[in-house]
């Protein structure tokens, strides 16, 4: 039997490493188990988010957007950039360097906070026992008073498009292209599909997105989703809704995809195909038989509102439990679980978790959509403000999009904030804070915003809820 700990965390992604650091800060002897292997063959921390998810994709999104700006937008600003070229290999190398710096940074944070990193695959074998198998197959057993499962998720694969080494790839593979494909297919018009499609479209690929659903971004407010679809189409993304993929054939270095739109069958040929149809919890083999941790039919570990499983000493957080698969949601759950284990009161407001799509412009939302409110029988009032009327947006050459506030018609309480526009991912924090503190639309309307800023659009949207926007003509409100 190896060392005994107060807490062992399985998984060092954004949920697991944060949970481990927090537990150590609370004075608990903590270990964190991780099996992720880097390109150099070493175990690294950070999980999907840092290694093949949030961070590397944003590095490519930012680089590709700057290329588009230099090629198409600088001239309007009086900047002569000349013949702008792309070095995809250098762009990928920069992405890899950022990943290496951040994953190494977590190792440094573990050391600074006294967290013991354990390399290998973790498995809960008892209510207070974890077995870790290293790369060589050697198993060691550790004891802990409490266990936090933060095993994360993996991409969903579909039978019609089995992955290959380099032609049909998942989201991780799409971050490793060494040159821009001429014809790129993307299956799935969700967050990941739109982001990766945007990257390679900006770099010169002809991108077709095949989405099985008939609606575009159904989780986003209808007006925001409609405008987003229009803007992405304008940028060159060919988004085909109601397109159900039925098969594929890889031949002569390209892939032919078969799909049905309900009325007819179609075929399209691509140089590369990215499969982005969602993610599933990585829980198979994480908990041993007989431990008593319950999962549902989809493999999610069942937990209560404070992430306790059916076994009192075992908690589970992040992508392997209910709720949106978001890094920041996992991090907050990790902090909550660690605090509870340390004997403190802690809770999380699941109604105030923001989401962001890092296209350009960005799409961000938190709280209810109008369709959500209608389904719940809540009468609402709304206020919107277009960035086309924003001085800062004009200066930034970023006038596309709008901010929209949804408030309870009776109480004026903010129910949701939805934005499509430059820096929407930064501005959405205003909505999160408003929801967290139960703010009214009037509270935001009476708040002093710096000028000129993109955030003023939120201020104006709040004013518009009662028909009092200053920098646009107001629609008459029903009395």
The yes-or-no answer on residue 451 being catalytic is: yes
- Strands 153-155, 254-260: pairing is unpaired
Q: Residue count of the chain, please give it.
A: 479
Measure the CA–CA gap between 31 and 45, rounded to whole angstroms: 13
The answer to whether residues 60 and 95 touch, using CB atoms and an 8 Å cutoff, is: yes
d(CA 251, CA 258): 14
Nearest to 220 by CA among 418, 45, 479, 427: 418
Contact 283, 295 (CB under 8 A): yes
What is the three-class DSSP state of 186?
Answer: strand
Say if residue 452 is preceded by a cis peptide, omega within 30 of 0.
Answer: yes
Q: Can you tell me the distance from the alpha carbon of 119 to that of 135, in angstroms, rounded to the nearest whole number?
A: 8
Catalytic residue among 451, 459, 468, 471: 451
Q: What angle do CA 38, 43, 47 make, to 5 degrees?
A: 75
* Close Cβ partners of 425 (under 8 Å, ≥ 6 residues apart): 356, 358, 362, 364
CA nearest to 365, candidates 373, 378, 353, 376: 353
Annotated catalytic residues are 451
């Amino acid at each position: 039997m190896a060392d005994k700990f107060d807490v062992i965390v399985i998984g060092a992604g954004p949920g697991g490493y944060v949970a481990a650091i927090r537990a150590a800060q609370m004075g608990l002897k903590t270990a964190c188990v991780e099996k992720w292997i880097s390109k150099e063959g070493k175990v690294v921390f950070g999980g999907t988010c840092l290694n093949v998810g949030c961070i590397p994709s944003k590095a490519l999104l930012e680089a590709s957007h700057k290329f588009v700006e230099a090629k198409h937008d600088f001239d309007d600003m009086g900047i002569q950039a000349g013949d702008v070229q792309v070095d995809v290999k250098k762009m990928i190398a920069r992405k890899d360097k950022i990943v290496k710096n951040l994953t190494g940074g977590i190792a440094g944070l573990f050391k600074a906070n006294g967290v013991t990193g354990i390399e290998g695959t973790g498995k809960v074998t008892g209510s207070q026992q974890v077995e870790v198998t290293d790369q060589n197959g050697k198993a060691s057993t550790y004891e802990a008073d409490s266990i936090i499962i933060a095993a994360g998720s993996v991409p969903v694969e579909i039978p019609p498009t089995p992955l290959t080494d380099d032609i049909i790839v998942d989201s991780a593979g799409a971050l490793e292209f060494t040159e821009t494909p001429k014809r790129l297919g993307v299956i799935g018009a969700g967050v990941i599909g739109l982001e990766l499609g945007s990257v390679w479209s900006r770099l010169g690929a002809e991108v077709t997105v095949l989405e099985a659903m008939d609606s575009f971004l159904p989780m986003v407010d209808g007006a925001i989703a409609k405008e987003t679809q229009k803007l992405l189409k304008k940028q060159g993304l060919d988004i085909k809704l109601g397109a159900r993929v039925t098969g594929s054939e890889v031949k002569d270095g390209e892939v032919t995809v078969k799909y049905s739109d309900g009325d007819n069958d179609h075929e399209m040929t691509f140089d590369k195909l990215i499969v982005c149809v969602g993610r599933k919890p990585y829980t198979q083999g994480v908990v041993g038989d007989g431990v008593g941790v319950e999962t549902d039919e989809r493999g999610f570990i069942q937990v209560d509102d404070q992430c306790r499983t059916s076994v009192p000493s075992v908690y589970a957080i992040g992508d392997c439990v209910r709720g949106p698969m978001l890094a920041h949601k996992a991090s907050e759950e990790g902090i909550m679980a660690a605090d509870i284990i340390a004997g403190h009161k802690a809770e999380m407001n699941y109604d105030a978790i923001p989401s962001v799509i890092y296209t350009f412009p960005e799409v961000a939302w938190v709280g209810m959509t109008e369709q959500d409110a209608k389904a719940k029988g809540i009468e609402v009032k709304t206020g919107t403000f277009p960035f086309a009327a924003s001085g800062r947006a004009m200066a930034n050459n970023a006038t596309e999009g709008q901010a929209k506030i949804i408030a309870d018609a009776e109480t004026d309480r903010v129910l949701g904030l939805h934005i499509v526009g430059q820096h929407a991912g930064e501005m959405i924090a205003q909505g999160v804070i408003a929801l967290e503190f139960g703010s009214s639309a009037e509270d935001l309307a009476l708040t002093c915003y710096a000028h000129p800023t993109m955030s003023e659009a939120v201020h104006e949207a709040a004013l518009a809820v009662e028909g009092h926007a200053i920098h646009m003509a107001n629609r008459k409100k029903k009395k």
